[in-house]
Structure 1
Amino acid sequence: MHTRNIILKARQLGFRALVCIIQLDAELFESAKCALIARTPNDTKRLFQEKIKFAYDCLPEEGKKTNPASNDAVGS
């Protein structure tokens, strides 16, 4: 993926999930540092659990061993 992608879409079609998956991929395989920003801390926690942690948990065990999670909670 390029660093400046434009995705044309209507509302509620999974754009946030796509961005979260791209960020997880960049963090795991490119050693990038990523941030998750939402309207409220509760929204941030919900997005983390529903999108990022869920995707990480679905990785094969070999992928988890190669890229172990050091923190599985949303910080402040």
Structure 2
Amino acid sequence: MSDAMIECEGLTKRFGAFTAVDHVSFSVAKGSIFGFLGPNGSGKSTVIRMLCGILEPSDGTARIGGHDVVR
């Protein structure tokens, strides 16, 4: 088991033919501070919504504390 609190691998979200998030991968170590920056429309809110379970990813995996938020 890794020491990452948040792990995303190949996280993708499509709305029809539009790809809002395209294969995003990152990990955040337990106890660290992580900034999530980007221009308007780059998919930041969509990634957070997938991590919270509000949106279901089209592809990829996301885990928080080792628990799969997609399943």
| TM-score interval (norm. to shorter) | 0.3 to 0.5
The structure with the largest helix share of the pair is 1
Instruction: Please say which structure displays the higher CA radius of gyration.
Output: 1
RCO greater where, 1 or 2, for CA within 8 Å and sep 6 or more?
A: 2
The structure with the largest strand share of the pair is 2
